[in-house]
Structure 1
Amino acid sequence: MGNAIEVVKLRKEFKAYSSRSGLKGAFRDLLTRNYKIHRAVNDISFTVKQGEMVGYIGENGAGKSTTIKMLTGILTPTDGNVTVNGMNPHKERERFAHTIGVVFGQRSQLWWDIAVQESFRLLKKVYKVSDEEYEEHMEHVIRTLDIGPLLDKPVRKLSLGQRMRCELAAALIHNPPLLFLDEPTIGLDVLVKLKIRQFLKEINEKYNTTILLTTHDLADIEALCERVVMLDEGNIIYDGSLKKLRSNWGGQKQVSFEFKEEPNKEELAAFTSALPVSWKEGERANVLVAHVHNEEDAISQVIGKVVARYAIKDISIDETSTEEIIRNIYEEGMTHG
């Protein structure tokens, strides 16, 4: 099985201009501009195999969208090599565009004032899709995404959830082997998210569609992707399986203590300092959460010590969530490969 995406030492730099203060500064800016070079993507390398579903994650400003724009040919790299579906996205624009589908959660590819099916017909012509191919493929897409009743409505009359399902269908009119999804479930309710996730699993199984997904909703990643690539300030800080990520950094449990009276957090930390535990504020008043390393007897020792010293209303024990693990990685700046 070949690679759908190959990225070698990819870099993107932007010039950031700064203005000088005052009238004198404004005149000087007319003659010469001050600027700094900002490196949004810093010599990253990775590959995605055909048929893989990969989560591409990072905080705002980490360089995710910049990478996607280079992979789809919207931006030209400052340096490095990109090969997508065997082509250079910037040099073979027209042929390349026929082999990818793109959904940007913040931008629309549908025409605002015409019925959804008219947008679909226009895209069908753009991508030179035959009637037979369109009927065979899109019947399944329309049925699975449950957008049949929306086809004769103008896009401006659709809710966000309805529009995103139509956007996804539009990206698949030419049944591309590779799909880029940038925040496809942003702002959607739970039922619509579930429908979209189920649909993406189906097209991956049915057509072996490769999917690169950027999202802030880690439930999307957990539902769809076995592998994650994690970006921080333009650098890849983790590339591997979600399972390995959880086992490497998820070796903790969370014990939530609801105290009858709120204890002093510093005093509590000092009191349990001999144990493998760190304390964080809970979501409710009088709740503190102990992050306990999965060492033998550690949880029972923490609970025993706290209960012996403080009056407790309630205790609950949870596995550390993926969201918490990823937050910890960013906070600690760890760089496991």
Structure 2
Amino acid sequence: MSAIIEIEHLSKVFRLAKRRPGFLGGLRSIVNPELQLVHAVQGLSLRVERGEMIGLIGPNGAGKSTSIKMMTGILQPSGGSIRVAGLVPIERRRELAAKIGVVFGQRSQLWWDLPLIDSLRLLRHLYRVPETRFRTNLAQLCELLDLKAFLDTPVRQLSLGQRMRGDIAAALLHEPELLYLDEPTIGLDVVAKARIREFLQRLNTERRTTILLTTHDMDDIEALCQRMVIIDHGHKLYDGTVTEIRNTFGKDRMLIAVLEQSALQQLPRDEAGEVLLPDLPAQVQLVRTDGPQIWLQFHRDAMPAHELVAWLGQRVTLRDVTFQEPEIESIIRRIYEEDLLLHQVTA
């Protein structure tokens, strides 16, 4: 594979005028402003191969949107180098526009008062898509995204899910090599999210379209992306697979056991009537009980799952046993709260 995005030590510094308090201070802010430097992106390096689907995540203010704007040529970098589809974005913005598609979940490129089909026809002229190619692409997109039922509906009357599908179709009319998606499923219901995820998976698999996805919805990342990049305060904290980050930071698993009623009655209880498990291994924690069910949290490296089941089975009669992996969202929350990746990077 060849790289479609090549970024080396990319940085972006914004110079913001800092307003002084008071009337005279406000005047001085206009005449002789005090500048405050904001480092939105700092030393970001990233290589994306053609055909990859990557999740770019981070909290608000992490530098995700700023990075995408530099990749599309909207913003000029303060330092470092960047090439997208072989082009320097800020220098070849018009040429790059023919190679990329962009979808912002909270902003639409469709004309609000026009029927969806008219917006798509206008975009066909903006991208200079030949009529034959436009008709072929439109037919495919209508089938894959199920657009036919609302093609003649004004955009302002579309549901959020319908508008998002229309925006995705608009971004793909000219068959871009690279698709940027910024929060594409924000505010959508479960059915609409599933429809868009299925389409993006097919687009990546069948057309080999490279997709860079930024989102706060970790279900999007798990469903679509094998590779995940985490950035915060303009720094790259992690670049690897979802499986690797789960194995590294999500090793606490949950054993959910259903006990025979007779076995449950034989277990000792504390003063509040809560079930106790005598001689519970140090690395295992009884999290909660609910009727015949008990939840045991354990670290996969400290105690293998089969050993915990064997230990429990020697003490109580088990009806059923299931294991629950930690949700990726809870893992990412823990990483941010405890600065785990930052400590690894700076160690």
> TM-score, with normalisation over the residues of structure 1?
0.84
Letter in 2 for 1:70: M
Task: Give the structure 2 partner of residue 311 of structure 1.
Answer: none
Letter in 1 for 2:333: R
Change over 3 Å in CA distance of 1:130–1:39 after alignment to 2: same
Task: Give the structure 1 partner of residue 261 of structure 2.
Answer: none
Task: Give the structure 1 partner of residue 115 of structure 2.
Answer: 115
Letter in 1 for 2:161: G
Structure 2 unmatched ranges of 5 or more: 258-268, 289-294, 316-320
In the alignment, the residues of structure 2 paired with residue 334 and residue 279 of structure 1 have an alpha-carbon distance, to the nearest angstrom, of: 25
Task: Give the structure 1 partner of residue 173 of structure 2.
Answer: 173
Letter in 1 for 2:15: K
Task: Give the structure 2 partner of residue 310 of structure 1.
Answer: none
Change over 3 Å in CA distance of 1:297–1:123 after alignment to 2: closer
What whole-Å deviation, never above 9, does each CA across 1:27-56 have from its counterpart, x for those lacking one? 332332222211011110010000000000
In the alignment, the residues of structure 2 paired with residue 224 and residue 202 of structure 1 have an alpha-carbon distance, to the nearest angstrom, of: 10
Change over 3 Å in CA distance of 1:137–1:30 after alignment to 2: closer
Task: Give the structure 2 partner of residue 296 of structure 1.
Answer: 303
Letter in 2 for 1:322: I
Task: Give the structure 2 partner of residue 216 of structure 1.
Answer: 216
- What is the Cα deviation at residue 317 of structure 1? 5.7
Task: Give the structure 2 partner of residue 89 of structure 1.
Answer: 89
In the alignment, the residues of structure 1 paired with residue 297 and residue 32 of structure 2 have an alpha-carbon distance, to the nearest angstrom, of: 54
Aligned residues: 315
SS in 2 for 1:9: strand
Letter in 1 for 2:214: T
Task: Give the structure 2 partner of residue 330 of structure 1.
Answer: 336
- What is the Cα deviation at residue 204 of structure 1? 1.2
Q: Is the 8 A contact 1:42 1:234 kept in 2?
A: yes
- What is the Cα deviation at residue 127 of structure 1? 1.1
- What is the Cα deviation at residue 326 of structure 1? 1.0
* Structure of higher CA gyration radius: 2
Q: Percent identity?
A: 44
In the alignment, the residues of structure 1 paired with residue 304 and residue 173 of structure 2 have an alpha-carbon distance, to the nearest angstrom, of: 56
Change over 3 Å in CA distance of 1:274–1:61 after alignment to 2: farther
Task: Give the structure 2 partner of residue 20 of structure 1.
Answer: 20
Q: Is the 8 A contact 1:144 1:199 kept in 2?
A: yes
What whole-Å deviation, never above 9, does each CA across 1:181-205 have from its counterpart, x for those lacking one? 0000000011111111111111112
- What is the Cα deviation at residue 324 of structure 1? 1.1
Alignment of structure 1 residues 2-13 onto 2, 5 Å: 2-13=2-13
SS in 2 for 1:185: coil
In the alignment, the residues of structure 1 paired with residue 11 and residue 180 of structure 2 have an alpha-carbon distance, to the nearest angstrom, of: 19
* Pick aligned residue for 1:321 from 312, 327, 332: 327
Change over 3 Å in CA distance of 1:277–1:150 after alignment to 2: same
In the alignment, the residues of structure 2 paired with residue 35 and residue 50 of structure 1 have an alpha-carbon distance, to the nearest angstrom, of: 40
Letter in 1 for 2:180: F
- What is the Cα deviation at residue 279 of structure 1? 10
In the alignment, the residues of structure 2 paired with residue 155 and residue 8 of structure 1 have an alpha-carbon distance, to the nearest angstrom, of: 40
What whole-Å deviation, never above 9, does each CA across 1:202-233 have from its counterpart, x for those lacking one? 11122110000001111111111100000111
In the alignment, the residues of structure 1 paired with residue 203 and residue 135 of structure 2 have an alpha-carbon distance, to the nearest angstrom, of: 16
SS in 2 for 1:132: helix
Letter in 1 for 2:22: G
Q: Is the 8 A contact 1:100 1:180 kept in 2?
A: yes
Letter in 1 for 2:178: L
Deviates more, 1:2-11 or 1:16-25: 16-25
Task: Give the structure 1 partner of residue 318 of structure 2.
Answer: none
In the alignment, the residues of structure 2 paired with residue 220 and residue 103 of structure 1 have an alpha-carbon distance, to the nearest angstrom, of: 15
Letter in 2 for 1:326: I
Alignment of structure 1 residues 47-66 onto 2, 5 Å: 47-66=47-66
- What is the Cα deviation at residue 256 of structure 1? 8.5
Task: Give the structure 2 partner of residue 132 of structure 1.
Answer: 132
What whole-Å deviation, never above 9, does each CA across 1:106-131 have from its counterpart, x for those lacking one? 11100111111111111111111112
In the alignment, the residues of structure 2 paired with residue 28 and residue 56 of structure 1 have an alpha-carbon distance, to the nearest angstrom, of: 41
- What is the Cα deviation at residue 261 of structure 1? 9.8
SS in 2 for 1:77: coil
- What is the Cα deviation at residue 276 of structure 1? 4.0
What whole-Å deviation, never above 9, does each CA across 1:74-112 have from its counterpart, x for those lacking one? 111111111000001110111110000000001110011
Deviates more, 1:22-31 or 1:121-130: 22-31
SS in 2 for 1:82: strand
Letter in 1 for 2:158: L
Q: Is the 8 A contact 1:19 1:29 kept in 2?
A: yes
Task: Give the structure 1 partner of residue 282 of structure 2.
Answer: 275
Deviating beyond 3 angstroms after TM superposition, the runs of 4 or more aligned structure 1 residues are 254-257, 260-263, 272-280, 289-292, 297-301
Change over 3 Å in CA distance of 1:300–1:138 after alignment to 2: same
- What is the Cα deviation at residue 300 of structure 1? 4.9
Q: Is the 8 A contact 2:138 2:173 kept in 1?
A: yes
SS in 1 for 2:229: strand
Q: Is the 8 A contact 1:237 1:334 kept in 2?
A: no
